[in-house]
A and B are shown apart, each in its own frame.
Chain A
Amino acid sequence: MPNNSTILSRRELLKSAGLGALALSGIFGASHRAYAKNAQHVVVIGGGIGGATFAKYMRFADADVKITVIEPNKEYITCLRTNDVMVDLHTLDELTFSYDTLRNNYGIQFLFDSVSDVDFDKKQVRTKQGEKLSYDKLVVSPGIDFRFEDYEGLSAEIANTQLPHAYKAGPQTLLLRDQVQSMPQGGVFVMSPPAGEFRCPPGPYERASMFAEWMQRHNPTGKILILDPKNTHSKYGPFRKGWERLYGFGTDNSMIDWLALDEGGKVTQVDPKRKLVKTENGTEIKYDACNVIPNQRAGKIAQHLGLTDASEWCPVNRNTFESEIHQHVYVLGDSTIADAMPKSGNAANTQAKVAAKAIAAELKGETPGNAIFSNVCFSLVGSRYGISISAIYEVRDGLIKPKGQSAGVSPIVDSPAQAALEAVYQKNWHRTFVKDVFG
């Protein structure tokens, strides 16, 4: 329990030091401040997890700076928990968030438009609808883009209409839900996760798990076949153990089968007309429902602005997230090269906080402090069976590395309480996390 008398005496202490409400909460009434004409301007491209967290914490870090977020959509749907939507544990509405609080309480301006170009010499952003905004600092957090060209027969159009990746939240989430839920009894659901760096590394395996649980009830003779272009994946041990416990993984009766790269798991071609995929070694596999999650690269606008390197991701100074290519431009979240950090919402959130502090320091002519990050990522193997991966990160030798002995996945233990608790925390995490981003 909090010790109220200590707190009170600290409040007194603060008052006497003339710090008042400011230091009490660490924040200040920014939203009614009329920004001075000469206020410095931070422009943010993208109001997703990275961009929205950044804007909020930039306000915490600097009460006076003018902050504008440019984002095409008036509301943001989190990818987080869309795997639950596919099995009717959530609705997309419950995962939809508005920018009202950031606007009304944090004094952040929103321009609902897309950025089409940036003039780095003039420090000016141009939007699709022809607006021009000058910036002192520019933050770019545009998420990911898909490499459809890695699969013969696949395109953005086909993903939208026939073969949803459902790796951005929205209509494709519902299309995939409907396709899997309307499979005939005994049907086969084929999933192809990406190779290389991609958003939410455990996401495909969580999705397969949630569908397995759904099929146990609604399509018990159905099968899930994961064709993987990798020989291992995120939370490999905990997923396997969970699949053994819940879905008979490893037995003849397993609901989930997993074919690794070395077993011919790499999909190279899709044929939605004949409902089949073809693997690298020429094998054709029929499906009743299919989810190809394509390989990925930095968001389109990051590529267009030349913020990417040969890897197709954005190199940044790991201590500040300033682009190594353009000065005064910062890249956050999935688009960046962040070494040991996965491409997750939690990672984007803590990168945003590092960038906010770094930019606040630089705008005041101070030197940014050392960066520190965290990632906690829960996945469900079943609606009441959770697993996690987590780490604290710091920068060593110019790279982001786990700090101390913090990196690890859920231990595999006999006690069922571990997985039950992690399922509770998983839901708890999502509710609290979105408040930290949008509230």
Chain B
Amino acid sequence: MKRLAPLFAASLLTFGVQAQANEDLRFDPEAMAWLCAPCHGTQGRELYESMPALAGLDPEFFTQTMLDYREGRRATTIMDRVARGFSDAEIKAMALWFAEQPAEQWNPEELNHAQ
């Protein structure tokens, strides 16, 4: 996570969030994002199912959608409950983490080719 920290801070700025974010977060953004994997795939990269991929989503879209679920503005079966577990800052941090993931199907083969 250390490695992503500078990028994370930079993205927050471009995203129009005050520099408060990193310090105020009680949870590692990656640790939060990993919780989504059982439904949305490893790194949010399951592209072939009805529970949609999260990888590569526009962070503003991700954030807005989660806030809409949380505030009951958007019809859903389960995401309203899930979204009620996260603060604004936590949702934004996940949005930025997922935005960094390639919008491609997770394929463990790529582990053998990286580096």
Contacts and interface: CB of A to CB of B under 8 A. Distances in A.
Interface of A: 1-4, 6-7, 10, 13-14, 17, 19-32, 57, 101, 104-106, 346, 349-350, 353-354, 357, 369-374, 376, 388, 390-392, 394, 402-408, 410, 418, 421-422, 424-425, 428-429, 431-433, 435-436, 439
Contact of B115 (A22, A371, A406): A22
Contacts of A433: 38-39
Given A369-B31, A371-B31, 5 more contacts: A2-B56, A10-B100, A105-B108, A410-B78, A421-B77
A374 B86 contact: no
A422 B100 CA distance: 29
B68 to A, nearest CB: 16
Contacts of A369: 27-28, 31
B78 A422 contact: yes
Interface of B: 3-4, 6-7, 10-11, 26-28, 30-32, 34-43, 46, 49-51, 55-58, 77-78, 81-87, 99-103, 106, 108-115
Contacts of A421: 77
A81 to B, nearest CB: 14
Nearest to A373: B35
8 contacts: A10-B11, A24-B102, A350-B34, A357-B28, A392-B82, A406-B85, A407-B81, A433-B38
A345 to B, nearest CB: 8
Contacts of B31: 353-354, 357, 369, 371-372
A72 to B, nearest CB: 24
Contacts of A7: 56, 99-100, 102-103
Contact of B58 (A6, A19, A376, A424): A6
B34 to A, nearest CB: 5
Nearest to A419: B77
Contact of B81 (A22, A104, A406, A432): A406
Could you tell me the dominant secondary structure of chain B's interface residues? loop
A17 B7 contact: yes
B38 to A, nearest CB: 5
B3, B7, B78 interface centre (most CB from chain A within 10 Å): B78
Contacts of B103: 2, 4, 7
Contacts of B37: 349, 432, 436
B7 A405 contact: no
A219 B95 CA distance: 51
A24 B49 contact: no
Counting chain B CB atoms within 10 Å of each CB, the highest count among A17, A19, A408, A435 belongs to A435
Nearest to A437: B38
A429 B10 contact: no
B56 A349 contact: no
B113 to A, nearest CB: 7
A192 B66 CA distance: 41
A2 B57 contact: yes
B101 A26 contact: yes
A171 B115 CA distance: 44
A57 B35 CA distance: 12
A29 B111 contact: yes
A432 B35 contact: no
A17 B42 CA distance: 25
Given A105-B109, A390-B78, A10 B38 contact: no
Given A21-B115, A32-B112, A353-B31, A13 B78 contact: no
A10 B77 CA distance: 33
A353 B34 contact: yes
Contacts of A432: 37-41, 46, 49, 51
Given A2-B56, A432-B46, A432-B51, A106 B108 contact: yes
Given A404-B84, A410-B77, A432-B49, A22 B10 contact: no
A10 B12 CA distance: 13
A431 to B, nearest CB: 7
Nearest to B11: A10
A26 B86 CA distance: 23
B39 A429 contact: yes
B78 to A, nearest CB: 5
Contacts of B3: 19, 22-23
A439 B42 contact: yes
B35 A353 contact: yes
B115 A1 contact: no
B109 A10 contact: no
A32 B37 CA distance: 25
